[in-house]
């Protein structure tokens, strides 16, 4: 089942904006989020167990004991799907009888059957649990051995064909536009791709401290010595450097203001310039 519009909205805002300094409006008040497309990608969810001990003359050198292993493979080309999406395939999020509410939902057909999926899955399970270990022999010489699980020790407990909803989401914050690709269920969402997460002025990865410009919608580094963002010194509005104006303050200092306040100052005959 795909996530609700409300959940998509919350996850989108959290991913793009986080918990920023924002005044006078909150991110929720400034943002418009729309799901533009949902594509259902076929996948095979494989549950397995694997128990094997690897021994040499000196004894057991490596052990694998897994009861609830899981992997996801594509139902189109058999490629291994990102393990982070495994948590989205849970019984509470699955439905056998669900019809898409809109025409902007497009599904793909399975091209891999159960037998082929099982064969491919076993190969991936072998690869995922193959380890090269080192050990000392009885002669105190160090050896290495590549431990590859045997097919006979891999037990496929379940193989379910599922559709993963891949969402294309557009987010507009004032004049800024973002596009995200997500995969989710009724309870949680994983962001697969987006153009967010960096300061829209310096390009550096954003930390927890950030500011949302209430004039243009840029998400930038919080006010600091770098000078990427400010608070309007008249109304308190959060503004980025590119939306900042200034007027003279105490002869030597600059008073940083937003565009609206700058217009009011100019109307009163004060000199105001764009902040650079």
Summarised one tens digit per residue, pLDDT across range 2-15 is 999 999 999 999 99
Fold of the 219-274 domain: Herpes Virus-1 (3.30.40)
48 pLDDT exceeds 60?
Answer: yes
Report residue 102's pLDDT band, with 50, 70 and 90 as the boundaries. low
Q: How far apart are CA 200 and CA 119, in angstroms?
A: 47
> What average pLDDT does range 75-100 have in this prediction?
88
101 pLDDT exceeds 70?
Answer: no
Q: Nearest CA to 125 among 73, 63, 56? A: 73
Summarised one tens digit per residue, pLDDT across range 195-218 is 888 999 988 888 778 999 999 999
> What average pLDDT does range 41-69 have in this prediction?
95
Instruction: Look at residue 36 in the predicted model and tell me its pLDDT.
Output: 93
CATH 3.30.40 in the chain is located at 219-274
88 pLDDT exceeds 90?
Answer: yes
Summarised one tens digit per residue, pLDDT across range 228-244 is 899 999 999 999 999 99
The alpha carbons of the chain give a radius of gyration, in whole angstroms, of 28
Tally helices (H) and strands (E) across the chain. Answer: 4, 15
- The beta strands (E) that lie in the chain are given as 31-56, 59-74, 105-107, 131-136, 142-147, 154-173, 176-184, 189-194, 210-212, 219-221, 229-231, 238-240, 245-249, 253-257, 273-274
The mean predicted confidence, pLDDT, of the chain is 92
234 close to 246: Cβ distance less than 8 angstroms: no
Summarised one tens digit per residue, pLDDT across range 176-199 is 999 999 999 999 999 999 988 899
Provide the 8-state DSSP code for 195.
S
Higher pLDDT, 105 or 171: 171
């Amino acid at each position: 089942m795909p996530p609700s519009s409300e959940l998509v909205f919350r996850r989108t805002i959290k991913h793009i904006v986080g918990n920023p300094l924002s005044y006078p409006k909150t991110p929720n008040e400034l943002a418009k989020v729309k799901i533009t497309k949902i594509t259902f990608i076929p996948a095979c969810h494989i549950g397995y167990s694997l128990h094997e001990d690897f021994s040499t003359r000196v004894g057991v050198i490596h052990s694998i004991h897994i009861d609830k292993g899981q992997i996801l493979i594509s139902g189109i080309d058999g490629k291994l799907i990102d393990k982070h999406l495994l948590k989205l395939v849970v019984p509470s999020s699955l439905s056998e009888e669900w019809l898409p509410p809109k025409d902007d939902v497009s599904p793909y057909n399975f091209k891999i059957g159960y037998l082929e999926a099982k064969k491919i899955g076993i190969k991936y399970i072998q690869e995922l649990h193959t380890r090269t270990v080192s050990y000392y022999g009885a002669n105190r010489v160090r050896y290495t051995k590549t431990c590859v699980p045997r097919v006979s020790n891999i037990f496929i407990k379940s193989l379910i064909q599922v559709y993963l909803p891949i969402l294309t989401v557009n987010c507009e914050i004032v004049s800024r536009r973002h596009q995200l690709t997500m995969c989710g269920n009724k309870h949680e969402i994983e962001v697969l791709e987006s153009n967010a997460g960096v300061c829209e002025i310096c390009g550096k990865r954003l930390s927890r401290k950030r500011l949302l410009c209430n004039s243009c919608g840029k998400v930038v580094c919080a006010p600091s010595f770098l000078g990427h963002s400010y608070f309007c010194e008249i109304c308190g509005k959060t503004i980025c450097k590119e939306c900042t104006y200034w007027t003279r303050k105490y002869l030597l200092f600059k008073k940083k203001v937003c565009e609206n306040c700058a217009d009011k100052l100019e109307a009163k005959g004060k000199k105001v310039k764009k902040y650079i």
